[in-house]
Amino acid sequence: MLTQEKITYKNSLEFAQQMDQKDPLKKFRDEFHIPLQKNGEPHVYLCGNSLGLQPKLTQTYIQQELDDWAKLGVEGHTEAKKPWMPYHEFLSESMAKIVGAKPSEVVVMNTLTTNLHLMMVSFYQPTPTRYKIVIEADAFPSDKYAVESQLKFHNIDPKDGLILWKPREGENLCRFEDLEQIVEDNRDKIALFMIGNTNYYSGQFYEMKKITELGHRNDIVVGFDLAHGAGNIQPNLHEVGADFAVWCTYKYLNSGPGSLGGCFVHERHAHNKELKRFVGWWGHNKDTRFNMRKEFDPIPGAEGWQLSNPPILSMAAIRSSLTVFDQAGFENIRKKAVLLTGYLEFLLDELQLEKINIITPRNPEERGCQLSIQVKNADKSLFTALTEKGVIADWREPDVIRVAPAPLYNSFEDVYKFVEILKSLC
């Protein structure tokens, strides 16, 4: 539950600036590089759901690894200030906090879609009678492609094997009752729930615990894609009991374009050597990894799914970002997100424009910091005009602007300015 501060918002620049003054996280904005407009003013950057901004610390952390590589060459694996051999372990504790897991349940490796496939290799084991996969209708395209290709890999026609959890006619959000109905209608035929949480398009944060329990009651494996959840909402993966989850680190986790992804495997699977998987040497028992003639012996927990020795420069960026998250404290970040997103919602409502419709849930517990704003009859020219006025947001055809004030670096003033600019264009 969110303990929401009672706050009376006001529609003025002065109020926004007062909120910024009182913000316990205000100093963090200065710890990020905010992209500048041509006129030298900072952009109103509301696109942290697509690519998070760069923490200033990142350059120092990456430079450290470049220096160690220059000075030490291969010896850096053991002699670097942060030795490369166990480098991924330096990330586990902080990353575990971000997703509400135990450190042994998380590992940073590969990229999101790769991890999704690796997880499905292990956790999607269709039988002739139980083989269907449920995803939400507006799943991110990569997830849909990945799931369809897994079905085809097992010689299952996606038309038969893929079930879409859809919003009802005339609605934008998925209802839990409809997922229950899907389970009812496909009794003993569903093998996997693969749900993208928080939904990238609507910003809806599904009730993970209810979904997981529904799945498990019906012998369905439950996995989540937290690309839009990690660093945004608290998914509490361990407690929720999901079997696996995957996410990327370049959105709310501010770790740079294409940076490595995260992966969660619940501890109930940690020692199960029977679980099928695609493997590589980095997932092998650390004591005998370099004795390369042994049978594969997986490291217990999520680390056992690692394939390759990982890119240290990307991990350095993740370590820097997680340091900032640790300093700020995730609970504080979430608290500010609720206030900041609530302020954005309040100002949009104040516009009283019939053509503006927020499709993201109104309940703060059912969303993160993204609001998806439908502007009826608008086309991309509105978005282009916003960009010209210094707003960086995200446009989804046919008529939705997605804006995400990221609590670590966005201010109440950013939110105020965005709505003023939108108003001037509508």
Q: Which residues contact 134 (CB under 8 A, 6 or more apart)?
A: 163, 164, 165, 179, 182, 190, 192, 193, 194, 195, 220
Tell me which of 143, 345, 399, 414 binds ligand PLP, using CB under 6 A. Answer: 143
Among the listed ranges 63-71, 169-177, 223-231, 415-423, the one in contact with ligand PLP (CB under 6 A) is 223-231
Q: Contact between 369 and ligand PLP (CB under 6 A)?
A: no
- Closer of 142 and 309 to ligand PLP (Cβ): 142
Residue type, position 206, single letter: Y
Q: Least Å distance between CB 224 and ligand PLP?
A: 10
Q: Contact between 260 and ligand PLP (CB under 6 A)?
A: no
Q: How far is CA 328 from CA 25, 94, 98, 176, 201, in A?
A: 7, 12, 12, 33, 27
Q: Contact between 416 and ligand PLP (CB under 6 A)?
A: no
**398 prior amide bond cis, ω within 30:** yes
Residue ranges in 184-213 that form contacts with ligand PLP under rule CB under 6 A: 196, 200
- Closer of 248 and 328 to ligand PLP (Cβ): 248
Q: Least Å distance between CB 253 and ligand PLP?
A: 11
Print the binding letters for residues 91-130 with ligand PLP: x by CB under 6 A, - otherwise: --------------------xxx-----------------
Tell me which of 225, 345, 399, 414 binds ligand PLP, using CB under 6 A. Answer: 225
Q: CA angle, 231 as apex, 299 and 382 as ends, to 5°?
A: 135
370 vs 143: CA distance, rounded Å = 20
Q: Which residues contact 149 (CB under 8 A, 6 or more apart)?
A: none
Tell me which of 101, 135, 163, 227 binds ligand PLP, using CB under 6 A. Answer: 227
Residue pair 367/205 in contact by the 8 Å Cβ criterion: yes
- Closer of 51 and 338 to ligand PLP (Cβ): 51
Residue ranges in 386-415 that form contacts with ligand PLP under rule CB under 6 A: none
- Strand-by-strand arrangement of the 132-136 sheet: 106-109, 261-265, 244-247, 221-225, 190-196, 132-136, 162-165
- Closer of 200 and 418 to ligand PLP (Cβ): 200
- Closer of 261 and 283 to ligand PLP (Cβ): 261
- Strand-by-strand arrangement of the 394-396 sheet: 356-358, 371-375, 400-403, 394-396
Where do contacts with ligand PLP occur on this chain (CB under 6 A)? 111-113, 140, 142-143, 196, 200, 225, 227-228, 248
